[in-house]
């Protein structure tokens, strides 16, 4: 059987072959929340017989993906957050309220990284989750990502550009000031979380960063590890769990 991993987010569909318990080379197609980019169906793997899918994206796009995979003869199993899985125990009283992308990133962090971990996702939202070395999810934070901050500012004040500019500690023009302020807010939250995590666990956690907005922050996060396939690697762990069962999309 040919297994593939699919992660539908708020702006991209990422997918990769399942190889040796992890994600292989990752491909992606973009979407605008309503439709995928032209030609997206041709980009899907032709040899997929078993598909493992995670989604925080729009339901209509998930349905389109599901139908295309069914047409290719694939068996489709959708990942959902569980209270405990693969050695990870979720802190939420209602585990289903924890986004599946955060849940899967925690599975990968626990499986593939030793010690405590602070898992930071930089997408539409900025998510931060603290994972103790024994698999205990201590809890997390959610904030707007730098990109979303700029979109919100532009929506209220169109004269403020939604992109452009370069980071500076004290910027000399509006574009740079926006980049510096929005990225700086994200950096400050990560740094605060690292300090609090070290105090809570009496040891500094490894900082794992993933998501489309990660590259902009990484140069100012010393010691951070860029893990672009973290959610897909976690989906691979979920797919291999001993209690595997079919959960149709």
CB-based burial label for 186 (10 Å; 0-12, 13-18, 19+): buried
Q: Are strands 225-226 and 206-210 parallel, antiparallel or unpaired?
A: parallel
70-101: buried (b, 16+ CB within 10 Å) or exposed (e) per residue?
A: eebebebbbbebbeebbebbbbeeebeebbbb
CB-based burial label for 228 (10 Å; 0-12, 13-18, 19+): middle
Active site (catalytic) residues: 101
Q: Give the Cα separation of 241 and 237 in Å (integer).
A: 6
């Amino acid at each position: 059987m040919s297994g593939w991993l699919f992660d539908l987010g708020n702006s991209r569909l990422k997918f990769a072959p399942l190889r040796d318990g992890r994600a292989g080379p990752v491909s992606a197609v973009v979407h605008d929340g309503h439709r995928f980019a032209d030609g997206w169906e041709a980009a899907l793997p032709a040899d997929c017989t078993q598909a493992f899918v995670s989604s925080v994206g729009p339901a209509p796009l998930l349905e389109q993906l599901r139908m295309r995979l069914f047409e290719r003869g694939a068996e489709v199993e959708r990942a959902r957050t569980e209270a405990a899985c693969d050695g990870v125990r979720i802190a939420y009283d209602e585990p289903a309220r924890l986004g599946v992308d955060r849940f899967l990133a925690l599975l990968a962090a626990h499986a593939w990284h030793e010690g405590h971990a602070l898992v930071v996702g930089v997408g539409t939202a900025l998510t931060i989750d603290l994972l103790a070395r024994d698999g205990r999810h201590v809890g997390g934070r959610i904030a707007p990502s730098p990109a979303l901050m700029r979109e919100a500012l532009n929506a209220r004040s169109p004269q403020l550009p939604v992109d452009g500019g370069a980071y500076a500690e004290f910027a000399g023009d509006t574009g740079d000031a926006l980049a510096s302020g929005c990225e700086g807010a994200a950096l400050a939250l990560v740094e605060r979380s690292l300090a609090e995590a070290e105090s809570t666990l009496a040891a500094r956690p490894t900082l794992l960063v993933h998501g489309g907005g990660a590259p902009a922050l990484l140069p100012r996060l010393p010691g951070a590890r860029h893990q672009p396939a973290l959610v897909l690697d976690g989906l691979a762990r979920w797919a291999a769990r001993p209690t595997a069962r079919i959960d149709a999309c």
